[in-house]
Amino acid sequence: MGVPAAACDHRGMAPAVPWRIEPLTPARGADYLRFFDHEHGPAFADNPEWRTCYCHFYEVPPALKWGDFDGPANRTAMTARIATGEMEGFLAYDGDEVVGWVNAQPWHKLVHACARMRVAPPPLHVPPHEAAAIVCFVIAPARRRQGIARALLAGAVASFAARGFACVDAFPWNTGPQDAKATDHYHGTLSMFVAAGFAPIATHETLTVVRKSLR
């Protein structure tokens, strides 16, 4: 999958970007784990509190206490999900190095996400396997503010459209100018989604649900 075209320069040509967007597959599982490995990976290098997550949080039923899952447990769970093809999403690469990730999956693979976010699931006009959801972006600290999240979003939307999905939902937090930490924006920003053609469909105390129709 190629990255979306960047803005053109003064000659009308798109400047080269150093990353490419690839779907998570079992063959790329080791790349994913290196990105998230809580001792050495760059994913949460500036956020030690989340280093054990491995982006497993939204897969865990809310009846289970998240604090009971340590780094090795989350790594084992995600290794199994990736190896069996049950985990989807997209990786941003700079050469052979993973520099970003978006958890973007069919709705039926994120059945616990809304409960974890403590909001009601948005109504769907199609079966869950025909709709998708985007719940998490993780960009390496040194590579933030370079457009990687926008490229991941564009790649995910293009992939879902090509696969015939009807719509894709996302859940940006309701943030203000004072919310400047990376942890305030790991769902993506409302402005980024609106610029990509998403529209709000529900507003909750903590977040806004946005949707983009793909058909």
Q: Is the pTM of this model over 0.75?
A: yes
Residues found in the chain: 215
104-121 burial code (b ≥16 CB/10 A, e <16)? bbbbebbeebbebbebeb
Can you give the pLDDT of all 215 residues of the chain as single tens digits? Answer: 454 434 334 344 445 567 899 999 999 999 999 999 977 889 998 888 899 999 999 999 999 999 999 999 999 999 999 999 999 999 999 999 999 999 999 999 999 999 999 999 999 999 999 999 999 999 999 999 999 999 999 999 999 999 999 999 999 999 866 656 666 789 999 999 999 999 999 999 999 999 999 98
How far apart (Å, rounded) are the C-alpha atoms in residues 55 and 104? 11
Nearest to 168 by CA among 109, 212, 118, 110: 212
